[in-house]
Amino acid sequence: MDMKILVVGGGGREHAIARALSRCNGLQLFSVMATKNPGISQLAKKTLIHKETDASGVVGFAKEVGADYAFIGPEAPLEAGIVDDLERAGVACVGPGRAAARLETDKGFCREMMARHGIAGCPNYRICHSVDEAVSFIRDYGGELAIKPIGLTGGKGVRIMGEQVDAAGAISYVRQLGGNVVLEERLIGEEFTLQAFVDGSHLVSMPLVQDHKRAFEGDTGPNTGGMGSYSMPDHMLPFVSRKDHNTALDIMKSIVAVMSKIQEPYKGVLYGQFMNTADGPKVIEFNARFGDPEAMNVLSLLTSDLGDTVARITEGSLSSARVRFENAATVCKYIVPEGYPDAPHAGDKLTIGHPGTALLYYANVEDRDGQLFTRNSRTLAFVGIGPTLEGAEKSAEGAASSVEGHVRHRRDIGTTDLVNKRCNHMKELR
């Protein structure tokens, strides 16, 4: 198969997409990203350093290199309507158009659609458009709520009552946001991620992953874009039953069916973030793209041809028989600059000691003549792979702890202790 694919985005997720594509025969890779990712630029035949949300620049480059396909990594270009513009220019895309991407970019749209079409797993919610409306809802509700800005915040905009804020803190946060918020029932349980390739009507699901949003060990500190994640050899998680998995997948199938029914067919990668509660999985949110770090877990296990999947997503001919993932455990650990996420310190030197067998994915890092320097977001990630979670964790941890510089990572991700804690929590709830 001869195909030219443009990968849009320059993080760890896009490095994983680019590496999986680079394993395909007869495929030429091109890249556009805001800052240079040394891993992606090494794999790409040609790279454009350019604002990813500037559709005309991206379309111009796609045409210049003769790209047949584009794979959109991050959400911001989806929100900017890059898929609509690329498709008008004849480039087939993995990623939804602007209207269908509202599933992620407009939390109000997502909740209203779930409620209107009776899709299971929707928590109680209220979409507010003024400070007064939000404040009186918080006062009258009585229980704990999640406070979410309506638009994109890189996963960092949510405040949970009983965790980060009390009622007074919730009210002042709502004021700070000008009242445009979604208020949701606080869900209690264990989070998991289910990602699927989608071609408008068919879904092909990927191994379950658990991400770690909090900055510090023991799930403390501020929310981040994700500090790391793990997956199990059977592609399940020990606190998610087959029934829970089926429920989550059915919810995602219903979403895709409804999007098609309302004439906004969804194609690309659909990311479901679920809270496994005492009553089964509830939807925290959907993303219109791969998760970062979760893409690194699943794509490191992909043994089938991602180029073939790309073509099938755009043609509407996806088939689970043609997508295969290795039965191994993965543990991904992100190295981040000191001070991340609140006051990340950029421009610090870092050195990788002994990566061992772990895979290295570059993210927001500068390579100056072979010397690496931090920028102000997540720096790079290691993925350990092995027949057991313990082995995968050891591999990722060994690589991560060999990095020297003003950087840190979460040592607890993928450890037996932390996974047992999650299982015990689930047992207590059920």
**Using CB under 6 A as the criterion, which residues of the chain lie in contact with ligand AMP when the complex forms?**
123, 146, 148, 155, 158, 160, 184, 186-187, 191, 213, 223, 273, 284-285
Check binding of 226 to ligand GLY (CB under 6 A). yes
- Cβ atoms 172, 164 nearer than 8 A: no
Pairing of strands 46-49, 27-33: parallel
Distance of CA 296 to the CA centre of its chain: 10
Which option in ligand GLY, ligand AMP, none does residue 292 bind, with CB closer than 5 to 8 A by kind?
ligand GLY
Check binding of 79 to ligand GLY (CB under 6 A). no
User: What percent of the chain is helix, strand and coil (3-state, nearest 5)?
Assistant: 35, 30, 35
Alpha carbon distances (Å) from 27 to 74, 283, 366, 373, 419: 22, 36, 27, 31, 39
Check binding of 244 to ligand GLY (CB under 6 A). no
* Nearer to ligand AMP (CB atom), residue 85 or residue 211: 211
Check binding of 104 to ligand GLY (CB under 6 A). no
Check binding of 294 to ligand GLY (CB under 6 A). yes
* Nearer to ligand GLY (CB atom), residue 16 or residue 59: 16
**Measured between alpha carbons, how far is 154 from 158 in angstroms, rounded to an integer?**
10
How many CA atoms lie less than 13 Å away from 21 in the CB half-sphere?
Answer: 31
Which option in ligand GLY, ligand AMP, none does residue 280 bind, with CB closer than 5 to 8 A by kind?
none
Closest contact distance (angstroms) between CB of 340 and ligand GLY is: 15
- Cβ atoms 388, 233 nearer than 8 A: yes
Check binding of 308 to ligand GLY (CB under 6 A). no
Interface pick for ligand GLY out of 11, 96, 291, 337 (rule CB under 6 A): 291
Closest contact distance (angstroms) between CB of 419 and ligand GLY is: 18
The H or E element that residue 79 is part of is helix 75-79
| Residue 175: other Cβ atoms inside 10 A | 12
* Among 63-71, 232-240, 284-292, 414-422, the segment contacting ligand GLY (CB under 6 A): 284-292
Which option in ligand GLY, ligand AMP, none does residue 226 bind, with CB closer than 5 to 8 A by kind?
ligand GLY
Which option in ligand GLY, ligand AMP, none does residue 158 bind, with CB closer than 5 to 8 A by kind?
ligand AMP
Check binding of 10 to ligand GLY (CB under 6 A). no
* Nearer to ligand GLY (CB atom), residue 85 or residue 211: 211
Burial grade of 84 (CB within 10 A; 0-12, 13-18, 19 or more): middle
Q: Do you know the residue count of the chain?
A: 430
Check binding of 155 to ligand GLY (CB under 6 A). yes
Q: What 3-state DSSP class applies to 391?
A: helix
**Measured between alpha carbons, how far is 138 from 217 in angstroms, rounded to an integer?**
31
* Among 195-203, 233-241, 286-294, 314-322, the segment contacting ligand GLY (CB under 6 A): 286-294
* Nearer to ligand AMP (CB atom), residue 199 or residue 285: 285
Alpha carbon distances (Å) from 242 to 52, 135, 230, 245, 325: 39, 40, 18, 5, 18
Closest contact distance (angstroms) between CB of 292 and ligand GLY is: 4
Strand partners, 381: 334, 361
Closest contact distance (angstroms) between CB of 10 and ligand GLY is: 15
Which residue matches tokens 């604002």? 51
Which of positions 26-45 make contact with ligand GLY (CB under 6 A)?
none
Check binding of 68 to ligand GLY (CB under 6 A). no
State the residues that interact with ligand GLY by CB under 6 A: 155, 211, 226, 287, 291-292, 294
